[in-house]
Amino acid sequence: MVKNDIRDVKLSKKGALRIEWAGTNMPVVKSIAGRFRKEKPLKGIRIGACLHVTTETANLMTALADGGAEVSLCASNPLSTQDDVASSLVADHGIPVFAIKGEDNKTYYKHINSVLDMKPHITMDDGADLVSRLHSDRKDLVKNIIGGTEETTTGVIRLKSLEAKGMLKFPIIAVNDALTKHLFDNRYGTGQSTIDGIIRATNHLLAGSVVVVAGYGWCGRGVAVKARGMGAKVIITEINELKSLEALMDGFDVMPMSEAARLGEIFITLTGNINVIRAEHFRVMKDGSIVANSGHFDVEIDIPALAKMSKKRRVIRDFTEEFTLSDGKKIMLLGEGRLINLAAAEGHPAMVMDMSFANQALSAEYVVKNAAKLGNKVYSVPEELDQRIAGLKLASKGIKIDKLTVQQKKYLASWEIGT
Ligand code: ADE
């Protein structure tokens, strides 16, 4: 048995079936895996991955292994691991996994160190925790690294901050910035899976509810549209003028959280910032308000403040904790304020992770092929890869599209023809 720290290896049978199920909706990753098996572009490469341990991630891990890579995986969030998947990766695929759903913070970082112990050549992060360790406690391992990839908005922000300070020690491909990632995964994936998580945790009816969405980035837009589609009245809170205007013109009410807090019934944060919902907001919320986060880290809701204001707290359902304030008002916190779509549901559906993880696989291959040319910067996914993934996805759905005629190409390259 390969090295691991997982819940229970006996869960592997269920995990294997669910991984297979997800795989049927990941045709792009499957086609890349097919090519990887023949070409072995990752032969001899050790990839340390810190990703949500889900059925979709399992399909990415096996694709990388098909490409000849040695992979090792830990969780990118203490609550997002699917224990049966971890078990199948270890038992059926011989991939070392260090992840247990519900692990405490100490174990979470111990697991990150276990992955780093394999001395990776490539890091594959979702939130930049591997890279952050490599720039602090595990600096000695940087010499082995040829590059990394980053899955999410929050991670890219952290990495760009390292780059801006001149501290980034190896190149990173910002998978999140690929159009085939954030326009689909962040919008449609987060949109659906966040609502899924809230419903699984509460069984609350969205129709007729007032839903406050904090943040109108791609994730917030996705959630707002899905909530409205299910009959909720949606309020947007934002700090950015353009995004606020866009939300208004998309037909949503826009106001500060101080006002929205009085009106909302369900609150969802997706801002990437800290203490977006805090004591002053809890104070004016309605009795029974539901508060959830779908941003990367559990910092968006000021949970210590909520705890301090409360005289009693109890877990009333799986992933639903009831806080009773001193005046008797109750506030429901979902999934410990961690990303609710992965804590209480299964994260984004395979159909959308197919594109995100195709970007991961092709970016890893790109790093291997171009390592010598890359500086210590955060790079976008090359447009050619983005287009290739979109093309493969369309082809997998049997959809053909038009091509420019010779005349149209000439027209687009000219300035002479007007009205
Ligand atoms: N991030 C969001 N959804 C995910 C999923 N299903 N698998 C891995 N990472 C995710």
CA 140 → CA 135, 143, 161, 168, 398, distances in Å? 9, 7, 21, 14, 49
Provide the CATH number for the domain around residue 270. Answer: 3.40.50.720
Residues 306 and 387 in one domain: no
In this structure, what token pair is assigned to residue 111?
């697991």
Residues 15 and 113 in one domain: yes
Share of the chain above pLDDT 70, in %: 100
Residues 307 and 240 in one domain: yes
In this structure, what token pair is assigned to residue 376?
């210590």
Residue 206 lies in a domain: yes
Residues 164 and 192 in one domain: no
The mean pLDDT of the chain is 97
For 306, other C-beta atoms within 10 Å of its C-beta total: 22
d(CA 122, CA 119): 9
Contact 363, 356 (CB under 8 A): no
In the structure, what pLDDT confidence band is assigned to residue 419 with cuts at 50, 70 and 90?
confident
Dihedral sign, CA of 118, 85, 319, 175?
A: positive
Q: Cβ(12) to ligand 1 under 6 A?
A: no
Residues 299 and 362 in one domain: no
Residues 111 and 170 in one domain: yes
Residues 222 and 296 in one domain: yes
Residue 411 lies in a domain: no
Residues 338 and 383 in one domain: no
Residue 69 lies in a domain: yes
Q: Which residue has the tokens 């009773």?
A: 324
Which is the closest atom of ligand 1 to the Cα of 76? 9
d(CA 240, CA 237): 9
pLDDT tens digits along 277-335? 999 999 999 999 999 999 999 999 999 999 999 999 999 999 999 999 999 999 999 99
Residues 175 and 38 in one domain: yes
pLDDT tens digits along 190-249? 999 999 999 999 999 999 999 999 999 999 999 999 999 999 999 999 999 999 999 999
pLDDT tens digits along 79-115? 999 999 999 999 999 999 999 999 999 999 999 999 9
Question: How confident is the model at residue 39, as a pLDDT?
Answer: 98
- 239 φ/ψ angles, rounded to the nearest 5 degrees: -115, -5
Which is the closest atom of ligand 1 to the Cα of 348? 3
Question: How confident is the model at residue 13, as a pLDDT?
Answer: 98
Q: Cβ(354) to ligand 1 under 6 A?
A: no
Please, what is the Cα angle at 84 between 83 and 88, to 5 degrees? 120
In the structure, what pLDDT confidence band is assigned to residue 405 with cuts at 50, 70 and 90?
very high
In this structure, what token pair is assigned to residue 99?
């992840």
Question: How confident is the model at residue 128, as a pLDDT?
Answer: 97
| 145 Cα: distance to centroid of ligand 1 (angstroms) | 25
Question: How confident is the model at residue 309, as a pLDDT?
Answer: 97
Residues 376 and 309 in one domain: no
Residues 258 and 112 in one domain: no
| 148 Cα: distance to centroid of ligand 1 (angstroms) | 18
Amino acid at 387: Q
Q: Residue of the nearest CA to atom 9 in ligand 1?
A: 52
d(CA 333, CA 82): 21
Total structural domains in the chain?
A: 2
Q: Cβ(54) to ligand 1 under 6 A?
A: yes
Q: Cβ(181) to ligand 1 under 6 A?
A: no
| 354 Cα: distance to centroid of ligand 1 (angstroms) | 10
CA 352 from chain centre, in angstroms, equals 11
Q: What is the 3-state secondary structure (H, E, C) of the chain?
A: CCCEECCCHHHHHHHHHHHHHHHCCCHHHHHHHHHHHHHCCCCCCEEEEECCCCHHHHHHHHHHHHCCCEEEEECCCCCCCCHHHHHHHHHHHCCCEECCCCCCHHHHHHHHHHHHCCCCCEEEECCCHHHHHHCCCCHHHHHHCCEEEECCHHHHHHHHHHHHCCCCCCCEEEHHHCHHHHHHHHHHHHHHHHHHHHHHHHCCCCCCCEEEEECCCHHHHHHHHHHHHCCCEEEEECCCHHHHHHHHHCCCEECCHHHHHHHCCEEEECCCCCCCECHHHHHHCCCCEEEEECCCCCCCECHHHHHHHEEEEEEEECCEEEEEECCCCEEEEEHHHCCHHHHCCCCCCHHHHHHHHHHHHHHHHHHHHHHHHCCCCEEECCHHHHHHHHHHHHHHCCCCCCCCCHHHHHHHCCCCCCC
Provide the CATH number for the domain around residue 101. Answer: 3.40.50.1480
Range of the domain at 252: 188-343
For 38, other C-beta atoms within 10 Å of its C-beta total: 9
Residues 114 and 195 in one domain: no
Question: How confident is the model at residue 408, as a pLDDT?
Answer: 97
